[in-house]
Amino acid sequence: MSAAATAVGPVEELVYRETVLSRRRTFTLGPDGVRVEQSGWSVAEVDTTVPFDLMNPRRIRMRVRTGPAWVGAVVLSLGIGFAIAAFEGWGGADTPLLWIQAGSLGAAGLVTTVWFLRRIEYLRFESDAGVPVLDVARSGPDAAQFDAFLDRLTDRIRDARKSREPTDAVAGPTEK
């Protein structure tokens, strides 16, 4: 876990940080829920808390591509087009410039395609009604602590659900 793990009363507060493309999220396990803070240059800033008892402890694992791989393929194709133009001499005196453009676009396209083709593992928690409530990605500075953090989160969800179950003493009205 992050070095930000501290004790808060009888419940230990744990922090997990993830980064996916331009989005950064911090998950903090508090006494009653998961605080989610999100920021980034292409996403909305969010600061909310998801109560533990709202989530079902069943885990759904997904492997998702992070973005449009076709963007890299288009840039790579442009690089190949410039390389063909330079090879055929279509640029005349500007042929060295075409080779530079071809190399730059080709390299950028290849890197972008490979980056977007990789899959990131997510773990999703849903409500009892099957509505997605929380997704956490194995990505970023705390990726090595992904499983340990989610084990603790699942334990907290189970504990919260046990505490909300009715006991026999308050099971309902008694017969007369």
Shared domain for 129 and 51, answered yes or no, is yes
Give the chain's domain count. 2
Contact 57, 43 (CB under 8 A): no
For residue 1, give both structure tokens: 């876990």
Shared domain for 25 and 110, answered yes or no, is no
Examine residue 154 and state whether it is found in any structural domain, yes or no. yes
Examine residue 149 and state whether it is found in any structural domain, yes or no. yes
Task: Return d(Cα 114, Cα 42) in angstroms, integer.
Answer: 21
Task: Return d(Cα 71, Cα 116) in angstroms, integer.
Answer: 9
Report the CATH number at residue 143: 2.30.29
Q: End of a domain among 97, 116, 135?
A: 116
pLDDT in tens, 118-157: 788 999 999 999 999 999 999 889 999 999 999 999 999 9
Average pLDDT of the segment spanning 61-69:
78
Shared domain for 10 and 88, answered yes or no, is no
Average pLDDT of the segment spanning 80-94:
68
Shared domain for 26 and 40, answered yes or no, is yes
Examine residue 105 and state whether it is found in any structural domain, yes or no. yes
Question: Which parts of the chain are beta strand (E)?
Answer: 6-8, 11-20, 23-29, 33-40, 46-51, 60-65, 119-126, 132-137
Examine residue 172 and state whether it is found in any structural domain, yes or no. no
Examine residue 101 and state whether it is found in any structural domain, yes or no. yes
pLDDT confidence bin for 15, thresholds 50/70/90: very high
Shared domain for 102 and 125, answered yes or no, is no
Shared domain for 25 and 56, answered yes or no, is yes
Shared domain for 50 and 75, answered yes or no, is no
Examine residue 27 and state whether it is found in any structural domain, yes or no. yes
Domain region containing 127: 6-61+121-165
Question: What is the reported pLDDT for 105?
Answer: 77
* pTM of the predicted structure, to 2 decimals: 0.67
Examine residue 173 and state whether it is found in any structural domain, yes or no. no
